Amino acid sequence: MTEDLGPTLLTARLRLRVPNETDTVFAQSMYSVPQVVRYIGSGEPERSRQQAAARIERYRERFGSLTGVWLVEDRANRTPLGFVLLKPIPFSSGVEAEQEDIEIGWHLHPDAWGNSFAAEAAGALVTHAESQGLRRLVAVTHPDNGASKAVALKLDMTARGLTPRYYNTTCELFTLDL
Ligand SMILES: CC(C)(COP(=O)(O)OP(=O)(O)OC[C@H]1O[C@@H](n2cnc3c(N)ncnc32)[C@H](O)[C@@H]1OP(=O)(O)O)[C@@H](O)C(=O)NCCC(=O)NCCS
């Protein structure tokens, strides 16, 4: 398994690295928690090892020069904390766009919540995106996801209100010009 799919990124407390199959148990422990998946994807907990392995595989396939889904770990002791992402965001059906929008996102294990890790890790992705010449990032949250909206605002993203533009649903939109 190659580990040169994407860069390792460092912050004061965190290491962001390409996930691999050894992270399957962590992914299972995280995405099986109802509070984690409540506002993401189908909203259904993924309880099986197979689902977690498929998720890690998908995350690895996301890597390009800009994009990826990084595993976030504690720099000091390598404890896995969650995942952060940069990827083209899917437009809702019928939306005509001249170019893709790049989404920034964050998912943490509940044991890691409340430490400002999400904003710190996502900050490293903002720096990475800038270094790759990207001009604009978007984030979307479920309208009721107060913690995630707070993370976007901590990143100095601008709240743009509700939009039907992405994921075939109505989301709260945040943008950041780089
Ligand atoms: C979103 C998520 C990453 C935030 O994690 P976190 O550890 O709370 O994040 P941070 O500590 O960096 O910051 C969260 C901020 O939101 C605040 N907050 C927490 N819950 C909140 C709520 N319900 N309403 C408003 N603000 C809230 C916190 O006080 C904190 O602000 P502060 O640092 O000024 O005190 C975490 O809740 C998570 O992983 N949720 C499940 C996955 C998910 O929904 N991801 C986002 C999809 S869009």
Query: What is the average pLDDT value for the chain, to the nearest integer?
Result: 96
Q: Does the pLDDT at position 40 exceed 90?
A: yes
Q: In angstroms, rounded to a whole number, what is the distance separating the alpha carbons of residues 155 and 68? A: 19
3-class DSSP state of 82: strand
Partners of 166 in beta bridges: 91
- Indicate the pTM of the whole model: 0.96
98 CA to centre of ligand 1 in angstroms: 32
Share of the chain above pLDDT 70, in %: 98
Residue nearest to atom 13 of ligand 1 (CA): 116
Q: Which residues line ligand 1 (CB under 6 A)?
A: 36, 39-40, 105-108, 113-119, 141, 145-148, 150-151
Q: Which amino acid would we find at residue 138?
A: V
Digit-coded pLDDT (tens) for 95-137: 999 899 999 999 999 999 999 999 999 999 999 999 999 999 9
The pLDDT value recorded for residue 1 is 47
Sign of CA dihedral 141, 31, 57, 113: positive
Which of ligand 1's atoms lies nearest the C-alpha of 35?
Answer: 41
Distance 28 CA to ligand 1 centre (A): 21
* Cα-to-centroid distance, 96 and ligand 1 (Å): 32
- The span from the CA of 166 to the CA of 93, in Å, is 8
Q: Where are the domains of the chain?
A: 9-177
CA-proximal residue: ligand 1, atom 28 (nearest)? 147
Count of alpha carbons within 13 Å of 65, Cβ hemisphere only? 5
Evaluate if residue 2 carries a pLDDT over 70. Answer: no
Rounded Cα–Cα distance for residues 86 and 1 (Å): 22
pLDDT of 173 above 80: yes
- Nearest residue to 42 via CA among 50, 52, 31: 31
| pLDDT tens digits, 6-32 | 999 999 999 999 999 999 999 999 999
- Mean pLDDT, residues 53-75: 97
Q: Name the pLDDT band for 4 (thresholds 50, 70, 90).
A: confident
Fold held by 9-177: Aminopeptidase (3.40.630)
Q: How far is the CA of 163 from the centre of ligand 1 (A)?
A: 21
Q: Is the pLDDT of residue 73 over 90?
A: yes
The alpha carbon of 106 is separated from its chain's Cα centroid by a whole number of angstroms, namely 4
pLDDT tier, 3 (very low <50, low <70, confident <90, very high otherwise):
low
Average the pLDDT over 145-156 and give the result. 98
**pLDDT reading at 147 higher than 60:** yes
